[in-house]
Amino acid sequence: MSVATSNPARPAGHALVQALIAQGVSTCFGVPGESYLAVLDGLHEHRERIRFIACRQEGGAAFMAEAQGKLSGRPGICFVTRGPGATNASIGIHTAFQDSTPMIVFIGQVASDQRDREAFQELDYRQVFGPGTLGMAKWVAEVQSADRLPEYVARAFHVAMQGRPGPVVLALPEDMLTTPTTAAVLPRVEPAQAWPAPGAMRTLRQMLVDAERPLLIVGGPGWDAEGSAALERFAEAWALPVANGFRFQDTFDNRHPQYAGDVGIGINPKLAQRVKDADLVVALGIRLGEMTTGGYTLLQAPRPLQKLVHIHPGAEELGRVYAADLLIQAAVPAAARALAALEPPTALRWRERTAAAQADYQANLVPSAAVEPLDMAEVMKTMQRLAPEDTVYTNGAGNYSGWLHRFVQYPAARLHGRTQLAPTSGAMGYGLPAAVAAALLHPDRTVVNVAGDGDFLMNGQELATATGYGARRLISIVVDNGSYGTIRMHQEREYPGRTSGSDLYNPDFAALARAYGWSAERVDTTAAFEPALARALERGTPTLLHLKLDVDVSTSRTTLTAIRDQAQVQAHARGPA
């Protein structure tokens, strides 16, 4: 058993860095601030064991830490200063909460003797990030004692990883960080694995045996190689059709003959109908939120028409929205291994339905019609064909992501770990910082960011972070249609022909990237994309590809003109208001 030992007196800021090293942290992200200079000094002292990636804005830094949490399964680490720094970082904290990603954000706080005076940039972080089911963090605390700092750090790791993972916020008063302490660093934290009760598994097995049209929907945090392999064994033994939850498409191999597609924005209409027609839905690891349930319509809230089994690591998530027939609290890898141990009956009535679900998925990979001069479906297929299998794909929010979700096939986590980094929170500006983090954390892997023009410029300054810290196999594809495309689409649907505020004035993205030290090319046609991407992959240094897309090309399924025309027909049929 590991026992903590005392240390020589050192500033609490140095003790914090030692505590992070003890937890296995080798990289942290942030924007420096005068409120935590003692921590920065500690990072300098231990620079051979832990590196600090100085980002260009706290929102980008928080997104990088969130991506770190997704990739590693352990808390991503972010340091920001008080007030503006903390509020800038809030977007990443909110994303980590909604995406169930383990993350710890350390915020420099005003000195203790200045508290509660509205001192320079002072905030009460318990109020700002207040924990709760609709808060932004699982736990928020302020460390008043230097001697208790290692205790707070260890607890932060426990809370961030335990049950449903999520973000923790620790405020660090400036004077506390400079106070000497001999406090011992605590041992590495590992989350407890909750296993499903045997009786619940027997009940679940009987529900499967009695079903005619079962469907397995998987996703959420905590998947490791063993859990992913166990999920595949379970699905194969029971011949189940498997769908992945919104932006968790790397949970189950998209090339598997039982894969049915992803349940989220832009869902295949045939898969949506299949969810509605199921008589048993087993939801494993995912939150049954608005995106995965089609606005709570694929599974009607609060009581679905289908029988529902919900398996999730967080007790607070079970029964939150849906009155399910069976609720099971369990860590995802443990649940998958327990499911793999269930013995199927000799005859399974739904094999043909599973094959039909796979056929529907394959048909959805074929675009309805070619688009000229630049076809995003062909762009995605070309990208998939040329990029290595273990490529990490990232994106933020916007209609452009629909092509990525529909046409890129993600391998299972058992093969390469996470290959999809995308915010279920729908946060714009996520994709580029996430890609920079992935490229710095895994320099041996190719990382491709697909961004919209509005999405990209929310954190485009992090191009400098990639250059400054030597990112290599990193490609950013900017889809430029001169519009906030999702908003424009909704405007044309609700107020046809009456758009406002959704047009964008954009820079020359290729020239902008070159100014940051990247290679860059502009691509205007489908034929020009493949050689441009091939050059980017061969280059081995950060490259931006600027794709110019007509504003009318709205989604992977329709155009703005079609949306507007349909809305006008419907308005005419309703008559005057």
Strand extents, DSSP E, 86-153: 103-109, 139-142
Kindly report, residue by residue over 16-73, the tens digit of the pLDDT: 999 999 999 999 999 999 999 999 999 999 999 999 999 999 999 999 999 999 999 9
pLDDT band (50, 70, 90) for residue 6: low
User: Is pLDDT above 80 for 574?
Assistant: no
Sketch out the chain's domains with CATH numbers.
10-181 (3.40.50.970), 198-364 (3.40.50.1220), 376-568 (3.40.50.970)
Contact (CB, 8 A) for 437 and 64: yes
Measured in degrees and rounded to the nearest 5, phi and psi for residue 242 equal: -120, 125
Q: What is the pLDDT of residue 573?
A: 79
Model confidence over 192-246: pLDDT tens digits? 989 999 999 999 999 999 999 999 999 999 999 999 999 999 999 999 999 999 9
**pLDDT of 7:** 78
Percent above pLDDT 90 for the chain:
84
> Residue 135 pLDDT more than 50?
yes
Token digits of residue 40:
């920065």
- Predicted local distance difference test score (pLDDT) of residue 1: 43
Report residue 63: phi and psi, to 5°: -65, -40
Burial 367-402 (b: 16+ CB within 10 A, else e): beeebeebbbbbbbbbbbeebeeebbbbbbbbbbbb
Contact between residue 351 and residue 378 where contact means Cβ atoms under 8 Å apart: no
Please determine, for residue 3, whether its predicted confidence score (pLDDT) is greater than 50.
Answer: no
pLDDT at residue 134 above 90? no
> CA 61 to CA 146: how far, in whole Å?
26
pTM of the entire predicted model: 0.95
Q: What average pLDDT score do residues 123-132 get?
A: 85
CA angle 321, 324, 325 (to 5 degrees): 170
Per residue in 358-402, pLDDT (tens digit) is 999 999 999 888 899 999 999 999 999 999 999 999 999 999 999
pLDDT band at 283 (very low <50, low <70, confident <90, very high): very high
pLDDT digits (tens, 9 = 90+) for 495-526: 988 989 888 899 999 999 999 999 999 999 99
